[in-house]
Amino acid sequence: MNYGNIRGVPIPISRIVFGTATSKLFAAFRSVYGGADDFDRRLTDAFELLDMVYAAGVNCFDCADHYGEEPLGEWLEARGLRDKVVILTKGAHHNAWRKRVTDFDILHDVHNSLAKLKTDVIDLYLLHRDDPTVPVAPIMNALNRCFDEGKLRVFGVSNWTWQRMEEANEYAFKHGLEPFRVTSPNFSLAEQVEDPWGGGCQSISGESNKLARAWVAAHGMPVFAYSPLARGLFSGRVRSDHPEDAKEYMDEFAQKGYAYPVNFARLKRCEQLAKEKGVSVPEIAMAWIFNQRDLDVYALTGTTRAENLAKNIAAGEMKLTDEECSWLESGEHD
């Protein structure tokens, strides 16, 4: 396992980050609140999964105010691992009634996350969405209040444009405040052609997002890439010569975002290079994001199978040449 370091986080962080938005963790979440008679079994299943992930060398866990926090908090307390684990959680997600990127909601969600995670400090805290109509001042002031109170070690954003991040950080620097230090956009070999969830999802993949990648690289901002395998496109089950596989193995949101000819062409090149190297398609696709020389990348993955997790870890250690990376993306050689 490869590890990286982020200023403010006291321990090295595994490059593979476990995403807790899985069925076992959701089942355990319902059990924590008494939604199931088989509470012990569901929580045991969740603990066994988290034990397996941690034993493989993963020490960073991704969750949010609406998934993963409760079972993760129970597990950390039961195992006594809080000081050995990096918690990444998110808040200020919109709901069905309104957008929630306000100072009130940020303070509320931080408080709730601390309670659910059974901790007094969050290592990496991200705003899950943005609302461009809200000025950056109250947002940065609220986050800095939590930072000054010792509740957050590092904070950043998910699904913000680079222009809004720049605006927020300029405000922070001007007023002597802590800036955003990490970002979590969509990033994979596949181009996110359409927003899978219908608004607010930001990607730095593809030619159209070249400026976003350049800004992130220029500011040395670590990238916590979600959907690094394009939500199943590079799982190894979808074949480039059978595009109809996408309907069977990818949900409607994944199809909306990634099931397009430009990405099937990239999948075909992945298949070819995987065959040449004697590895799997997901290993090549995952290795591609880790071999972007200008970006400091961590990959959010939610696999529940030990063999797939091992492949993700191996991909994090695989070296691809600049020429191979360029060819996988564009079909051209540098």
- Does 87 have pLDDT greater than 80? yes
Name residue 206's beta-bridge partners.
none
Tokens of 142: 């609220």
Residue among 33, 54, 67, 260 flagged as catalytic: 67
Residues 110 and 113: their CA atoms lie apart, in Å, by 5
Sketch the domain layout of the chain as residue ranges.
Answer: 3-229+292-330
- Does 32 have pLDDT greater than 90? no
pLDDT, tens only, 262-314: 999 999 999 999 999 999 999 999 999 999 999 999 999 998 999 999 999 99
How many CB atoms lie under 10 A from the CB of residue 104? 11
pTM of the model: 0.95
Residue for token pair 């290993």: 283
Residue for token pair 């990634």: 258
Residues 72 and 113: their CA atoms lie apart, in Å, by 11
Question: What does residue 83 show for φ and ψ, rounded to 5 degrees?
Answer: -75, -10
Topology classification of domain 3-229+292-330: TIM Barrel (3.20.20)
pLDDT, tens only, 4-22: 999 999 999 999 999 998 8
Q: Which amino acid is at 6?
A: I
pLDDT, tens only, 187-242: 999 999 998 887 789 999 999 999 999 999 999 999 999 999 999 999 999 999 99
How many CB atoms lie under 10 A from the CB of residue 110? 25
Looking at residue 198, what is its pLDDT? 73
Residue 67 appears among annotated catalytic residues: yes
Q: CA distances (Å), 206 to each of 12, 88, 228, 262, in order?
A: 29, 26, 13, 10
Q: Quote the mean pLDDT of the chain.
A: 94
Looking at residue 100, what is its pLDDT? 87
Q: CA distances (Å), 305 to each of 2, 80, 249, 319, in order?
A: 20, 24, 16, 24
